[in-house]
Amino acid sequence: MKKLINKPEDVVADALTGVAAACPELRVDHQHRVIYRAEPKATGKVALVSGGGSGHEPMHGGFVGTGMLDAACCGEVFTSPTPDQMVEATTVVDRGAGVLHVVKNYTGDVMNFEMAGELAADSGVRVEAVVTDDDVAVEDSTWTAGRRGVGVTVLLEKIVGAAAEEGRDLDDVVALARRINAQGRSMGMALTSCTVPSAGKPTFDLPEDQMEMGVGIHGEPGRRRVPLAGAAEIAEQLVDPILADLDFQGGPSIVMLSGLGGTPLIELYLLYGEVSMLLEMAGVQVARTLVGNYITSLDMAGASVTVLKADDELLRLWDAPVKTAGLRWGL
């Protein structure tokens, strides 16, 4: 295993030390492994809290900041944060207007956020949750009942973050979050496995002439293992299942192509060229695009595509200023 780390068991703690050093606009609670905005809180704003296993950076810690999340809870690599981390984050960021938990659909995350929501409610915080489940690859998986929550989580955190920043109330923000999840679909693929530091070896074997279509962000199996193909063919295998699952015609869409961590930008842009052509041919009107590393899987080589059916309101919120380590414009 070749990684820029010290001891495998210290990876998350050490990475948080780096985040704290690199990002003065963030405050890191090392004890609870929670990342907060450093700037003073506005009262009356609905707070957004997310979190999950580490290894998907910049998600979620890189999305804490003005216009996006108020706090992110960092679990061990590919392991849900604990309810007490979530309760801590929730009670700290509550400004009296309630807290939205943004939860990717994985059994551990859902269970722990549910428990944390109940505990925080007991101490007087109004908490609602939205569970994202946008991955069209598989129904149920080794990590989930139902579909997995993946790329739409990034778009949701951006758009709903902007809505919260505008001062909308919790009911509004929850309804918006659910609408976004319902209107977004994703599909990913891997060229290689990732290597979890504590395991020290690749999570799965993928022969030199094969790729995994529909892979999950923890390296969990996808739809099928197929012969290695060119970018045009890969784009088709990513876009077709998305378009087969939801009708994206008749309005603008926001498209994200995210690398999985080990794939360089030149390949991501190249693949996006193919994705873009397929979407255009299918009559999807791409209004906004994001290409880069946004939801990753450690050092896995590969990419995922997310398409979100938008409208004028969602585009306006998308364009609103955001200032985070992982996504930043307009401030």
Q: How far apart are CA 187 and CA 60, in angstroms?
A: 19
One of 38, 231, 246, 315 touching a copy of itself (CB under 8 A): 231
- What are 50's two structure tokens? 């997310």
Q: How far apart are CA 56 and CA 189, in angstroms?
A: 15
- Give the shortest CB-95-to-a copy of itself separation in angstroms: 26
- Give the shortest CB-146-to-a copy of itself separation in angstroms: 27
Asked if 47 touches a copy of itself (CB under 8 A), the answer is no
Whether the Cβ atoms of residue 129 and residue 101 lie closer than 8 Å to each other: yes
Asked if 201 touches a copy of itself (CB under 8 A), the answer is no
- Reduced to 3 states (helix: H, G, I; strand: E, B; else coil), residue 83 is helix
Asked if 199 touches a copy of itself (CB under 8 A), the answer is no
Asked if 271 touches a copy of itself (CB under 8 A), the answer is yes
Which of 32, 56, 60, 101 is an active site residue?
56
- Give the shortest CB-274-to-a copy of itself separation in angstroms: 8
Q: How far apart are CA 295 and CA 55, in angstroms?
A: 9
- What are 172's two structure tokens? 């509004």
Q: Is 218 a catalytic residue?
A: yes
One of 29, 134, 165, 299 touching a copy of itself (CB under 8 A): 299
Q: How far apart are CA 137 and CA 238, in angstroms?
A: 9
- Other beta carbons within 10 Å of 317: 22
One of 9, 17, 123, 139 touching a copy of itself (CB under 8 A): 17
CA 305, 309, 315, 320 dihedral sign is: negative
Q: How far apart are CA 32 and CA 81, in angstroms?
A: 9
Asked if 3 touches a copy of itself (CB under 8 A), the answer is yes
The region of 33-41, 81-89, 175-183, 298-306 touching a copy of itself under the rule CB under 8 A is 298-306
CA 216, 221, 224, 228 dihedral sign is: positive
Given the complex with a copy of itself, which of 246 and 268 has the nearer CB atom? 268
Asked if 293 touches a copy of itself (CB under 8 A), the answer is yes
Q: Is 60 a catalytic residue?
A: no
Whether the Cβ atoms of residue 275 and residue 248 lie closer than 8 Å to each other: no
Q: Using the CB atoms, write b or e for 262-281: b if 16+ within 10 Å.
A: bbeeeebeebbebbbebbee
**Helices and strands: H and E segment counts in the chain:** 8, 14
Given the complex with a copy of itself, which of 42 and 228 has the nearer CB atom? 228
One of 69, 291, 308, 320 touching a copy of itself (CB under 8 A): 291
The region of 7-15, 29-37, 65-73, 241-249 touching a copy of itself under the rule CB under 8 A is 7-15
Q: How far apart are CA 228 and CA 237, in angstroms?
A: 12
Interface with a copy of itself in residues 169-198 (CB under 8 A): 191-192
Given the complex with a copy of itself, which of 111 and 265 has the nearer CB atom? 265
Query: Do the strands 47-54 and 26-29 form a parallel or antiparallel pair, or are they unpaired?
Result: unpaired
One of 42, 199, 244, 265 touching a copy of itself (CB under 8 A): 265
Q: What is the size of the binding site for a copy of itself (CB under 8 A)?
A: 62
Interface with a copy of itself in residues 72-131 (CB under 8 A): none
Q: How far apart are CA 105 and CA 101, in angstroms?
A: 12
**Which residues contact a copy of itself by CB under 8 A?**
2-7, 11, 14-15, 17-23, 54-55, 57-58, 62, 191-192, 208, 211, 228, 230-232, 234, 257, 261-274, 276-277, 289, 291, 293, 296, 298-299, 301-303, 323, 325, 328-331
